[in-house]
């Protein structure tokens, strides 16, 4: 079982650093980890951000919740140490320079968030700056060799050929009979696509769940098998699975 964080386990907020899991989410994750062979939270967030909010569950020596950040470019060791993909690490200085340029030019309300080998430009607090963000991130991506990934009122720049959530799902599915993924944004579409491939090519039972609201891109629900309404709907589904699924 794999799930996204923002928009899935946590409500979308204006200030990214203020995001917190919806009430009851950490308890449900812990219960799921005791019943499923593997439970993973995979997010575009840095791993240390996920650890600060979910570390108690991740550190459980008997039934840990695995934390994977930056769309798969980083993961948390059992003690919370960040393990960064070797290929992604080479892009750290490039991304830092891009972030400095974007930050120096950003209009009021636009936030530039450096996440190791990736940088996200948020314009939720300045929706009128969307055109500037699209143009500047496209220019920086072209000049620096990075790839732009649109999200919810944001654009992220990351390394080319980087690990994505589809790769994370593929790795987690090795040796499993069934895989479920829950997500809400365009960055989750590769995970839904991989679920389809696992089902048709490898014969693994898979389910993709889109968490939708008024901002959800239509491609997200179209790529999934079913939809639920917002983090509350995701929590209700995960809670049902925690109660209904036999241990192991």
What is the Cα–Cα distance from 179 to 84, expressed in whole angstroms?
25
Q: Which of 107, 100, 114, 111 is nearest to 70 (CA)?
A: 114
Q: How far apart are CA 229 and CA 179, in angstroms?
A: 21
Q: DSSP for 142-180?
A: HHHT-EEEEETTEEEEE-TT---HHHHHHHHHTT-SEEE
Buried-state track 178-202, b at ≥16 Cβ within 10 A, e below 16: ebbbbbbbbbbbbbbbbbeebbeee
What does the block give as tokens for 44? 């575009």
Question: Is 243 tagged catalytic?
Answer: no
* Catalytic residue from among 4, 85, 185, 188: 4
What is the DSSP track for 105-119?
HPPTT-EEEE-SS-E
Catalytic residues: 4
């Amino acid at each position: 079982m794999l799930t996204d964080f923002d928009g899935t386990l946590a409500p979308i907020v204006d200030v990214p650093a203020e995001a917190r899991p919806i009430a009851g989410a950490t308890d449900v994750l812990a219960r799921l980890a005791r019943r499923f062979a593997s439970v993973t939270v995979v997010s575009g967030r840095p791993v240390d951000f996920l650890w600060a909010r979910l570390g108690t569950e991740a550190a459980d020596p008997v039934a840990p919740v695995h934390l994977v950040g930056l769309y798969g470019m980083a993961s948390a060791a059992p003690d919370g140490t960040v393990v960064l993909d070797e290929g992604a690490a080479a892009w750290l200085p490039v991304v830092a320079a891009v972030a400095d340029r974007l930050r120096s030019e950003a209009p009021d309300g636009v936030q530039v968030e450096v996440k190791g080998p990736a940088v996200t430009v948020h314009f939720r607090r300045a929706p009128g700056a969307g055109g500037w963000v699209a143009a500047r991130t496209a220019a920086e991506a072209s000049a620096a060799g990075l790839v732009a990934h649109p999200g919810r009122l944001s654009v992220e720049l990351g390394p080319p050929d980087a690990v994505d959530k589809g790769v994370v799902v593929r790795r987690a599915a090795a040796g499993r009979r069934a895989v479920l993924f829950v997500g809400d944004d365009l960055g989750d579409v590769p995970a839904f696509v991989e679920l389809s491939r696992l089902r048709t090519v490898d014969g693994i039972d898979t389910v993709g769940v889109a968490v939708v609201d008024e901002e959800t891109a239509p491609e997200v629900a179209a790529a999934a098998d079913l939809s639920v309404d917002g983090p509350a709907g995701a929590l209700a589904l995960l809670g049902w699975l925690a109660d209904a699924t036999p241990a192991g």
